[in-house]
Structure 1
Amino acid sequence: MNERRPGRDRVRQLLDAVLGEHENGTALEQIAATAYSSTFHFSRQVSSTAGESPAALRRRVLLERAAWELQRGQSVTDTAISAGYESVDGFSRAFAREFGCPPSVMPTRRERGHWLPSANGIHFHSPTVLYVDADQEQSAGDVVALMVRHDLEDTDAVLAAAETVSDEEYRRIRMPGRRVLAWSGDETSFADVLRHLALDKLPWLASIEGQDEPDFGGSDDAVSLRRRHTEVASRWLAMTRDVERRGAWGDRVIDALCDPPESFLLSQILAHVLTFSAHRRQLARWMLTSCGVDVSHLDPDPIMWHRRASGGNQ
């Protein structure tokens, strides 16, 4: 993936305006004003770009969020209110029309997921947490799922261990001039390696989801990076599960954020991410050791990870 163009994507601004929170309701005029646009122009831009009117896009995504909240134990009444409905009955009718079941039974159907059909690939994602359903067996036969989940959980473990490292050791140059990839920038310190490890899935997610250039700003201490990785991980897990469910690993993404634009198979993207994530996790283990951190509990072997995850039964 080549160097990406800087700047804010106007389309993303419009989508943010549609999906954002509004204190005094969600009238189209107010949403358009948020995007500094006339109502007519705003509606036309969103509809032509996203294939849905602003109201339809917002309604669908809020219903997806409602399904996600219900699956995690929130009451139907509270969910209806947070989705912007004036009555539980109105919410229940809208929910049943889209999901084919009343909201009261959604908690028993977590395997169904929370996404609704969408022509534009815009969906609600869990905002803060990587959810691993307890009732889904860690099957060693599902190689893609095993490798994806091992990568995410091992990354979290490495980041957790790094929280104990002093700032001086964390930022000390250990490998002058070191670059894992020619276009990805220097990775000379522990901080550099962990920043790439925690955030390098973001550009790929942006390409697959058709989003704007991701924000790489913010604190780069281990605690902050671990928090951001948790957010990235939930989106990455949702994406890979969706691709696997659709059998779409042969689909191709035209990444217009690259300069020049490039074409990637989804299978190529996953293989790339897993390969260089594993490399960086091993670099991080070496750096932890050089900082005096005991890494004996951080076994990188996916076999051992899977045995622990499945209770030692496989």
Structure 2
Amino acid sequence: MDAERDRLRELLDVIVDSVADRAPDETDGAALAARAYLSRYHFDRLVSAAIGEPPGGFRRRLLLERAACELRDGAAVTDVAYRAGYGSPEAFTRAFGRAYGRPPSALHGDPGSRVQLPAPNGIHFHPPGNLRVPGDPRRSGMDVTSTILAHDNWLVGEILRHAERLPDEVLDRPITMSIDALDAGDGLRGLLHTLVSTKERWTAAVQGSRPPGGDPLGSRLPDSERTLPALRRRYAVAGPAFLELANGIRARGEEDTTFIDVTCDPPRTFSYGEMIAHVLNFSAYRRTLAVGALHEYGIDALGFGDPVSYSADRPQ
């Protein structure tokens, strides 16, 4: 995580926390700077440089945006005025009118009322009590599919790594489920083999080459290629290759491009987008079974493989 972004988040959190009900002497500029362990001068300079808005003005805008949300939800003007830090409803009404161009009563109980004020940074109050902060403009925007692809690639690799600790008897024990399902009767080893061979198979299909073992599911591969070291070795190639393939397709806008999969019998036509969705869908299902099996066998380091944890922990 970028240290500069983390520090900005800390400074913003100081201001956001001050929007909550506090005594006036806890929310003036000097008090906020002290909470950030900075002098008033450096606090003002850092915040202003980072978001293009001085902290005092930023805080007043957030308070007015919160007030607008509360008025829109039916709160009384007097209550909202004091919560926004104004000494009287009249002072609040004047400030609100200057900011919104209409009196507070105009928003009362109107769910369609505008609550966001013009801002140089795109940061706004977001009910019930936090901020909506735009992504770093120096970075490309977060792409959900790219994140899912990267998470899938990482998690399968981690499952393989942890499964290598298990003895053969456990790896080959059937995974029991309460309903008939895809892969029913497979052990963890078989499940992991399918996760690996699926990416080998689809990468080969798109590239027009033969998958390992010569058949789509790798069923002709010898047992030596199903050991955990072999599966990890194969996935070290197959995982990044499929990720690069899928991201390349998306970068070029080729999701609707079709190809003929000659490894099917009979051959079938797919779009690249359908292929990516197919792999992600069935990989998610099999990953869930595999993580559940690891839990059953006493390995819980991956939790439940939640992408939120992966997104929070991965290098930026």
Question: TM-score, normalised on structure 2?
Answer: 0.49
Question: TM-score, normalised on structure 1?
Answer: 0.50
Q: Name which structure has the greater RCO, CA cutoff 8 Å, separation 6+.
A: 1
**Max radius of gyration: which structure?**
2
